[in-house]
Amino acid sequence: MELEAGLKKIKKPIMVLGTSSGAGKSLTVTAICRILKNCGEEPIPFKGQNMSNNAWVDWEGGEMAYSQALQAFACGIIPSAEMNPILLKPQGNSISEVIHLGKSIGITTARNYYKDWFIPGWEVIKKSLSSIYKKNPNCRLIIEGAGSPVEMNLIHRDLTNLRVAKYLNANCILVTDIERGGVFAQIIGTLELMKPEEKRLIKGIIINRFRGDLSLFAEGKKWIESKTQIPVIGIIPWLNDTFPPEDSLDLLEKKSYFKNPEIKVGIIKLPSISNFSDFDPLENEKTIFIEWVRESQNLNKYDFIILPGSKQTIKDQIFLEECGLSQDIKEYSNNNGNIIGICGGLQMLGKTLEDPYFKEGSKNTSEQRIQGIGLLPLKTTFYKKKLTRQIISESLWPCQSEISGFEIHNGQTELVNMQSSLKINPIFKDLNLGWYSENKGGGTIAGIYVHGIFENDHWRDQYINLIRKSKDLPIFNKKSISYKKKRESIIDNLANEFDKHLNIKSILN
């Protein structure tokens, strides 16, 4: 396959394929994007199809995977949904929401996806590629594959691996994770399952997550190159810097690494958790220890707890009720605990949830109207149309400061009449973005629609200071290091480590 006329004189794209899911494709693309940016090139990330509930909203209100947004930051450019033209957001039971060029266009089962969506999916990928090149004729695409490129039962319908590689005639890198074991079989097996014209596109192999003395793999490198006739262009050591995982299952492996933390945070691990990159700024706070809460327990050991976003709010609220966590959260609040709910978490903290169009996980009419946790006097109704937008507003609590972030939700939330003395206040000047109340004995309950709220440094610092004050810890008065600067530093460190061990120049042309 070839690009349309007029787009053939492009810089050779680089595509990163993996021997499996989790081999390190996302981080490799992120590192290469920053390396090439530092060399004066114009890299742009691209992933034809991604499956993730960890999303980002671009400035036109389009949804895209957060991993491609992060890669855009590594390129020093503004993320756009064209960089991830197909996003599938799992809803459970082999059902996913289909998003094309940032807009939700339908729901599909896994069984029917390729029958109904393969042709329009390929068209939207080609449309995005054409648009990117027309806007950025001097760019070099750095493309991420998905999973394995040789899933033989799917390969004839695979939209985002070898089909894209052949269409662009890309120089491909095959990445494998040595930590998983069986690295030689992974490489040889993947290459053997490719057609000759596909195998010819593989210009280099990367061994990822190598522990110990790199020289010990010299014989292994020699064997691979002899067997495949493809150079091993990099052996990347194990890196400790943490990045947001694409898959919520990876959250089980995330741990806080800082010693002697002063504040302990519990984040409820919802079955349909979404936008868990919201908590990366907390992961980078040296005074904070984070644990993921997956079952009923006494929550009083935490200084504050977070209810994260959810792709299926009704379903996840039923889960909280059935497993006992809903009652645990109520008891925690009665003991003057501090609670923050973000997006779906905000909705669950309210009194009622109504799902007339079966948008948020209700399975039958008896689940279309359910009780929330009931800590805030809010009612949420889920409508057909989703709200997606970037936000710039001003906070009123816990401090006055400009904040930014984005919204992704179907639900519309409103205050309801109360027959109690509970006082509820807006958190932002935009009155529909969040509310909070203070317990009489101490502790606060806050519900916020703003994803990325903890990336706002002053807001985050002041909220943490509220917690520190409640624990009689000294208040932090000095301005903390900007999280976005920390993120840049992490990307720089990642790129520097890759650059030490990766011969990227060998496959640029």
User: Which residues participate in catalysis according to the annotation?
Assistant: 343, 451
CB 165 within 8 Å of CB 150: no
Q: Which structure tokens are listed for 262?
A: 């002063």
Distance in angstroms (rounded) separating the CA atoms of residues 261 and 74? 30
Whole-number Cα distances in Å, 107 to 82, 260, 316, 385, 396:
20, 46, 19, 13, 38
**What residues contact residue 68 under an 8 Å CB cut-off, 6+ apart?**
45, 46, 47, 50, 56, 79, 83, 84, 144
Nearest residue to 452 (alpha-carbon basis) of 404, 499, 419, 416: 404
Whole-number Cα distances in Å, 447 to 140, 204, 378, 396, 481:
42, 48, 10, 14, 26
CB 273 within 8 Å of CB 293: no
* Three-state SS at 408: strand
CB 79 within 8 Å of CB 73: yes
Q: What is the DSSP string of 169-196?
A: T-EEEEEEEGGGS-HHHHHHHHHHTS-H
**Please, how many CA atoms are within 13 Å of residue 403, restricted to the half-sphere of its CB?**
33
Nearest residue to 243 (alpha-carbon basis) of 503, 498, 507: 498
CB 432 within 8 Å of CB 441: no
Q: How deeply is 419 buried, as exposed, middle or buried, from its count of CB atoms within 10 A (0-12, 13-18, 19+)? A: exposed
Distance in angstroms (rounded) separating the CA atoms of residues 204 and 363? 48
Q: Which structure tokens are listed for 376?
A: 């805030």
Q: Which structure tokens are listed for 344?
A: 């779906």
The secondary structure of residue 44, as a DSSP letter, is E
How many angstroms from the chain centroid is the CA of residue 366?
Answer: 33
H helix or E strand, kind and range, residue 144: strand 140-144
Nearest residue to 353 (alpha-carbon basis) of 316, 375, 380, 326: 380
C-alpha dihedral, 350 to 356 to 359 to 365, nearest 10°:
100
Distance in angstroms (rounded) separating the CA atoms of residues 427 and 394? 9
Q: Which structure tokens are listed for 90?
A: 């799992």
